[in-house]
Structure 1
Amino acid sequence: MITLTSSALDAVRTAMSNTSDPVGGLRIMVETGGCAGFKYSMGLVPEPSPDDAVIETDGVTVYIDGKSQPFLAGTTIDFVVALQGSGFTFENPNAASSCSCGKSFG
């Protein structure tokens, strides 16, 4: 379904270890919005929702809600450190277009 690079996995592990809240995994969703029509949303959550796909990769659990699954199929998520800032990037084969910030797609 999706792939997280080793850099993305390390970033998620770091975020999980730095929170005092109970964390079961990382939820990734696609929401309406952004400058290209859809935007990615991510956050640490304690448990999956009933319709979530659950993906386990090298000790990191990822939850993807049912509505977002078709939009994210085949996506590779990376974590990049650059002069302009650090953050997650998405290489999504389902995106017909994307904005220059890489956080939204159409």
Structure 2
Amino acid sequence: MINLTDSAVNAAKSAISASAFPAGGLRIAVEAGGCAEFKYTMGLVARAEPDDTLIERDGLKVFVDNKSYRHLIGTTIDFVVALEGSGFTFDNPNAKSSCSCGRSFS
């Protein structure tokens, strides 16, 4: 299971409501690359793909492809506002290590 904090849900809902195109939800994926072996990617999408796992929380739809889902099981996604910058953070128990930017892991 992937967990989203209230802050992450609210930030995603705000992005969807401000989107210039019809967004049906938030896509979260893991791709090769970044400072470490894998990197997190996020973006608004119109709809789910056939191989997606759907996560719903407080009216927010989150789509995760099945390949990425394996890397994200148990992950908590938060949205943090800080002096250094605001953004989504990932607390991933499957990561052996992560880079200082927090956007990639191995």
TM band (smaller chain): over 0.9
User: What's 1:58 paired with?
Assistant: 58
Aligned equivalents of 2:45, 2:21: Cα separation in 1: 9
Q: CA deviation at 1:66?
A: 1.3
Identity %: 64
Secondary structure, aligned partner of 2:100: coil
Residues 1:46 and 2:46 aligned together:
yes
Q: CA deviation at 1:20?
A: 2.2
Secondary structure, aligned partner of 2:13: helix
**Once the two structures are superposed, what CA deviation does each residue of 1:55-89 show, in whole Å capped at 9, x if it has no partner?**
11011000000110110001000000001000000
Secondary structure, aligned partner of 2:66: coil
Q: Normalising by structure 1, what TM-score?
A: 0.98
Give the aligned CA root-mean-square deviation in angstroms.
Answer: 0.5
User: What's 2:23 paired with?
Assistant: 23
Q: CA deviation at 1:36?
A: 1.0
Deviation >2 Å, runs of 4+: none
Aligned equivalents of 1:59, 1:81: Cα separation in 2: 23
Matches within 5 A, 1:6-21: 6-21=6-21
Aligned equivalents of 2:55, 2:102: Cα separation in 1: 23
Letter in 1 for 2:11: A
Q: Normalising by structure 2, what TM-score?
A: 0.98
**Once the two structures are superposed, what CA deviation does each residue of 1:16-71 show, in whole Å capped at 9, x if it has no partner?**
01012111110000000011110000000000000000011011000000110110
**Once the two structures are superposed, what CA deviation does each residue of 1:81-104 show, in whole Å capped at 9, x if it has no partner?**
001000000000000000011000
Secondary structure, aligned partner of 1:28: strand
Q: Which runs of 5+ in 2 are unaligned?
A: none
